[in-house]
């Protein structure tokens, strides 16, 4: 079929067309509609209530790809396409159709002519069949600082996740609503305004537009990475209804939510394992990996991979309490497909963070990155596309960039965490030299599909940034500046924005969020499940929220700058030459819409512990138009030196007289 235009419209209520009957109240067409085209392909139309539309195509309903988006208006039975990303480049955006809805059938009739012939070919006289009575996943409302979801496609759209900044939350440690000392979903809802209050006129929220929830399913462990029930929210956190309430509250603020999912293993207490372990004749015997003898294999961490159960042994790569599922068994795969359908469909999550995906299917003593693992994930991704083509999957592949890229490039996950870039940022800050960051970033940009990776600093398995950097506040600022000006989809670990410390064991890097000073740190009115770290009294939200010099304020400014400047979200990155060897720089540029001015941001990072003076920037070719351009520091709103560009080249540009130790400059270049 090729990547032709497909039209999809969103809206919970299109007026019921009166061409063939169906009179009275407006018709409710919420959900997806499908038509089989003459060439055998499939068109899917997804309706929401915000006046936008999204479209998908594929050779079958199991293999759909988002290809178009835009906006529409409705006047009775007349539906007008106001904007259309594909048709903008292929004949014209505006066209009007009469629409007719009868039961589960929707038919279009072009009024006059459609200047976009591809759209007319897919709509005019074609009947679409309703695929679901359930509402489709809502596009988040425009947030305080972030744009609404945008779709990918040949009209120049991009995946919605590239418009987002995600925030990793350990629910147990974030906010306790009932005083039992354990964080819960209602507590998280109560604290959403810290993350994003949904009001574009305010700047007291962090401004994140995505949440990653560490496991929230039933588990016997405090961390939740060993599920005993994939279909029920952990009772310490609340109920399935509480999760739905969280989704509603988050979407109202423009926040997407993804949840952690463990595909490799369950808890040893899971009923599946109990049944499997009951004997060789168990119907679920092959749901896990068993051996009559001890294979005597060790993991890459040096621990035993096999664990004794009576006279037999089972595979448990991470530890004895987490037996590995046997993903070669079709019934196991189908059960995990049901889990995905439940979280994406029934509970409405916007995506999944997939834990430990390089370990899914072993091959003898090889436990990571096997061909069967890649094949299983590719099929898994196809299944998710059939459930929700817009759902995001983020893969945890803790490895070098070259080993991570195939998971993304081969369409097994949408994006993957970039551990090498994370280490490069922190190593450059710690060693006061840009080389580690430069090498890691250069490798990543050359390897991944454009923007399809997830940079971060640390996560729940690593010592926190401030502990890594020895309480170097300016170093933490610099690391944040690097992170939030990079391409890709950045993730921030909870508490990172206020400089919380924490070093292993794991419980001490997952301590309660510090909302205020004093007992309980504002996290609970009771006794916290884990004592907060003994950080200084200034390391909490209350102490930093009104301080413009605080780390929290720095994160807020960076996230707001990213939201305000498409160059920082989705623009090209070109490394610039800087005359000061300890300063690393790059220019981010995003072309303007429909011939409008480009958005350009120059980033300079002084990794040195001493000031750098007279640093000159050179770039042989850029997308910045010729002329003299005003330049503004996005952190302070101060004017930097104007930038002169001749035929796209930048030569000897010195934006400021001096860069302070550990200072990062984020400079907006006015090109209009």
Distance CA 263, CA 326 (A): 10
Quick one: 511 exposed, middle or buried, by C-beta within 10 A (0-12, 13-18, 19+)?
buried
Question: Is 334 annotated in the active site?
Answer: no
Distance CA 171, CA 219 (A): 13
> CA triplet 508, 465, 609: central angle to 5 degrees?
145
Distance CA 458, CA 483 (A): 11
Pair 105, 87: CB distance under 8 Å: no
Which DSSP symbol is given to 26?
P
Which DSSP symbol is given to 472?
-
Q: Which residues contact 581 (CB under 8 A, 6 or more apart)?
A: none
Q: For residue 497, which phi and psi values (nearest 5 degrees)?
A: -70, -15
Query: Of 57, 84, 236, 396, which one is the catalytic site residue?
Result: 396
Task: Indicate left, alpha or beta for 522 from its phi (over 0: left) and psi (-120 to 50: alpha).
Answer: left
Find the farthest-apart pair of alpha carbons in the chain and give their distance in angstroms, rounded: 79
The token pair at 297 is 């294999």
Q: Which residues contact 223 (CB under 8 A, 6 or more apart)?
A: 170, 172, 214, 215, 460, 506, 510
- The 3-class secondary structure across 133-180, one letter per residue, is CCCCCCCCCCCCCCCCCCCCCCCCCCCHHHHCCEEEECHHHHCCCCCC
- Within 13 Å, how many C-alpha atoms sit on residue 510's CB side? 21
Which one, of 372, 342, 343, lies nearest residue 357 by Cα? Answer: 372
Strand spans (E) along 358-497: 392-395, 415-416, 491-493
Q: Which residues contact 316 (CB under 8 A, 6 or more apart)?
A: 265, 268, 305, 306, 307, 322, 323, 324
Question: Is 355 annotated in the active site?
Answer: yes
Report which secondary-structure segment, H or E, holds 341: helix 330-341
Quick one: 382 exposed, middle or buried, by C-beta within 10 A (0-12, 13-18, 19+)?
middle
Query: Of 355, 381, 385, 497, which one is the catalytic site residue?
Result: 355
> CA triplet 464, 414, 85: central angle to 5 degrees?
120
Distance CA 233, CA 240 (A): 6
Which DSSP symbol is given to 344?
I
Which one, of 427, 433, 423, lies nearest residue 605 by Cα? Answer: 433
Q: For residue 112, which phi and psi values (nearest 5 degrees)?
A: 80, -110
Distance CA 344, CA 243 (A): 12
Known catalytic residues are 355, 396
């Amino acid at each position: 079929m090729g990547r032709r235009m497909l039209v999809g419209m969103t809206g919970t209520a299109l007026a019921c067309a009166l061409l063939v009957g169906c009179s009275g109240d407006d018709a409710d067409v919420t959900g997806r509609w499908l038509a089989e085209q003459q060439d055998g392909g499939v068109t899917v139309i997804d309706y929401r209530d915000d006046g936008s539309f999204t479209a998908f195509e594929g050779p079958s309903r199991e293999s759909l790809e988002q290809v178009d988006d835009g906006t529409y208006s409705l006047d009775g039975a007349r539906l007008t396409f106001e904007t259309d990303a594909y048709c903008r480049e292929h004949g014209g955006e505006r066209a009007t159709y009469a629409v007719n809805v009868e039961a589960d059938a929707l038919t279009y009739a072009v009024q006059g002519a459609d200047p976009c012939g591809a759209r007319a070919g897919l709509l005019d006289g074609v009947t679409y069949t309703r695929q679901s009575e359930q509402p489709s996943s809502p596009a988040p409302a425009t947030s305080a600082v972030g744009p609404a979801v945008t779709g990918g496609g040949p009209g120049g759209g991009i995946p919605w996740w590239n418009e987002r900044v995600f925030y990793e939350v350990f629910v147990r440690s974030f906010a306790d609503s009932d005083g039992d000392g354990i964080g819960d979903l209602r507590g998280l809802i109560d604290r959403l305004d810290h993350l994003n209050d949904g009001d574009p006129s305010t700047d007291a929220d962090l401004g994140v537009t995505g949440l990653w929830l560490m496991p929230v399913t039933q588990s016997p462990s405090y961390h939740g990475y060993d599920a005993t029930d994939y279909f029920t929210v952990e009772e310490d956190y609340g109920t399935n209804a509480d999760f739905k309430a969280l989704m509603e509250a988050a979407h109202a603020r423009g926040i997407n939510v993804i949840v952690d999912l463990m595909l490799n293993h369950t808890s040893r207490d899971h009923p599946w394992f109990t049944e499997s372990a009951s004997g060789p004749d168990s119907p679920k015997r092959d749901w896990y990996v068993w051996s009559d003898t001890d294979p005597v294999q060790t993991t890459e961490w040096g621990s035993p991979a096999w664990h004794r159960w009576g006279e037999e042994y089972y595979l448990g790569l991470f530890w004895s309490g987490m037996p590995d599922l046997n993903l070669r068994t079709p019934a196991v795969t189908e059960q995990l497909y049901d889990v995905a359908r439940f979280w994406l469909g029934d509970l409405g999550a916007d995506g999944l963070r997939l834990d430990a995906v390089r370990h899914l299917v072993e091959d003898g003593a090889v436990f990571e990155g096997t061909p069967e693992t890649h094949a299983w994930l590719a099929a898994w991704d196809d299944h998710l596309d059939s459930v929700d083509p817009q759902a995001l999957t983020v893969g945890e592949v803790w490895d070098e960039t070259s080993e991570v890229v195939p998971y993304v490039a081969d369409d097994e996950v949408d994006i993957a965490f970039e551990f090498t870039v994370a280490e490069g940022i922190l190593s450059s800050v710690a060693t006061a030299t840009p080389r580690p960051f430069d090498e890691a970033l250069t490798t990543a940009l050359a390897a991944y599909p454009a923007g399809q990776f997830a940079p971060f600093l640390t996560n729940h398995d690593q010592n926190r940034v401030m502990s890594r950097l020895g309480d170097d506040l300016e170093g933490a600022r610099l690391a944040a500046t690097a992170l939030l000006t990079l391409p890709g989809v950045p993730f921030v670990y909870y508490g990172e924005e206020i400089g919380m410390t924490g070093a292993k064991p794991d419980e001490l890097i997952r301590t309660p969020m510090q909302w205020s000073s004093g007992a309980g740190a504002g996290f609970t009115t009771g006794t916290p499940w884990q004592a907060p770290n003994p950080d200084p009294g200034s390391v909490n939200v209350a102490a930093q929220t009104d301080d413009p010099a605080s780390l929290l304020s720095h994160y807020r400014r960076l996230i707001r700058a990213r939201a305000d400047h498409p160059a920082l979200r989705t623009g090209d990155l070109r490394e610039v030459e800087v005359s000061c060897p300890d300063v690393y720089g790059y220019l981010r540029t995003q072309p303007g819409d429909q011939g409008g001015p480009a958005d350009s941001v120059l980033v300079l990072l002084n990794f040195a512990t001493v000031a750098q003076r007279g640093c000159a920037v050179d770039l042989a070719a850029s997308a910045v138009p010729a002329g003299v351009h005003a330049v503004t520091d996005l952190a302070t709103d101060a004017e930097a030196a104007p930038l002169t560009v001749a035929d796209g080249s930048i030569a000897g540009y010195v934006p400021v007289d001096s860069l302070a130790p550990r200072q990062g400059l984020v400079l907006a270049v006015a090109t209009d």
